[in-house]
A and B are shown apart, each in its own frame.
Chain A
Amino acid sequence: MTLRIALKHRFEGFSLDLAFEAPAGVTALFGRSGSGKTTVINAVAGLFRPDEGRIAADGVVLLDTGAGRCLPPHRRRIGYVFQDARLFPHLTVRQNLLFGRWFAPAGPDVGPGVGLERIVALLGIAPLLDRRPATLSGGERQRVAIGRAILSNPRLLLMDEPLAALDEARKGEILPYLERLRDELGLPILYVSHSVAEVARLATTVVLMEAGRVTAIGPASTILSDPAIAPVMGLREAGAMISARVVAQEADGLTRLDTGAGPVWLPRIEAAEGATVRLRILAQDVMLATRRPEGISALNILSVTVRDIHLGEGPGALVRLSAGEATILARVTRRSVDALDLRAGRPVFAVLKAVSVARENVGRAGP
């Protein structure tokens, strides 16, 4: 499903003017607080009617102010996880979860575990089923809201910072599930998050927003490895995405992958041999060496070539490296650039610890 969005609206002190196209998969809206992410999402859901705009999902026109067309929210079949959970206070958690079911088009539960039990178990809200929302904790509320939206069997999911109130462990459980929704159900998701890690893991497409405008849009791997964009996301989160093929699951718990630039060992990745996964390698996790280091704990040493060097404002530099087909980013100090005499075309070794690719930075390859 492709979602085409074009919006123009003026608030006092803030104006929105953007157009973009979200292909299938997860499209992440990324931008600072107040940049207009929720407003865009609300327009897609039909909760906000812009001065001018056109929104179409595949063939279906959801909104066309020019033609005076505006599908009401309940006819859009769009699941929405709100920034504020918005649970129904008069219904129990179970009734909240099943609310959308009453209205969803008939038919059996589709796809992998969109059933109530599965979702309840996944979200860890089984003990809450008979409670009412008033006394739930912040994170519990948000989890119920996620479940409610998914269970309404939508054809498009809008998620506005769904995991912000959750702890790392819970996030780690929910993220793979969202990946499965994306991949196995092919459920398109418009996803707002301030966490680059989440975006990197889930997003197929990234839309960068600033003050109501789109400043960059593209496949997640391109946007997230673009050194020019890195400062927007925070330098610490700069990194590149590469695809790798699972070669073997080894006995000591490591998985061997082939990246095209040499073998890489990572802690066990749950994927069949031969499967393709995407790895996000943070620029700051990559060390460069002019000689192949020895007697060192890092397992992964790739031969790469320096493509270009971006000097930032501070003492750091982002070095773009060609690793076979793929691109890797490395963040080093200017002092090291000088000391190692790094320049475009020079072959070097990229050193990467096995453990530094965090579990959350390994995602299934999107569609």
Chain B
Amino acid sequence: EEVVVFAAASMKTALDAVAADFQSATGHTVTISYAGSNALAKQIIEGAPTDIFLSAAVNWMDEVEKAGLVTEGTRADLFGNTLVLVAHGTDAAPVEIGPGLDLAGLLGDGKLAMAMVDAVPAGQYGKAALESLGLWPSVEASVAQSENVRAALMLVSTGEAPYGIVYATDAVADDAVTVVGTFPDDSHKPIVYPGALLTGAADAADRAFFEALSSDAGDAKFAAQGFAILN
């Protein structure tokens, strides 16, 4: 049996590990297509032959659900993430993230790297957090928006931008950046990765893999990458 999964690209490392275990345990094949959540959602809506959708954004899962392609009762918020402020270098001093943070001062004439603040989830969360902390107006002009959160991290990593706002999961493996602070959970809507079994999924293997994601072993792989395990 083949299980086809459309998954947000940011899940690749953990999901590949889970899939590898699943394949060797069951003999089923798992084929995973990694791309941006928006592209995947559109493809699913256009009839992509997919069994499972793992989105990095709630709104795109909503779109798929609206199109009636989610198997009833299977949608679940699987993983969570946190938003962190990273700085270039290994010896950056930690900061207290709150309304009193002089982020603009820290930046100087440097840029604050973020994902696109109106379009990409990480950017949207980051903007919301800065707004709720009252920091947005002071830094708005200094924000460099990247295509995605990885590109934002790269800007910090190469030192082009002194600071950046990225997911905790992205920051873990990069030695060239330091996490200098974590945004309070209440400064933005919860960051969740919803997953669902799609209506096209017919066989047991699909369901089995979907369940494997929430198994302890699966959770461990995701936790190792820095994801929070929900439910």
A and B touch in their complex, CB below 8 angstroms: no
Residues of chain A at the chain B interface (Cβ within 8 Å): none
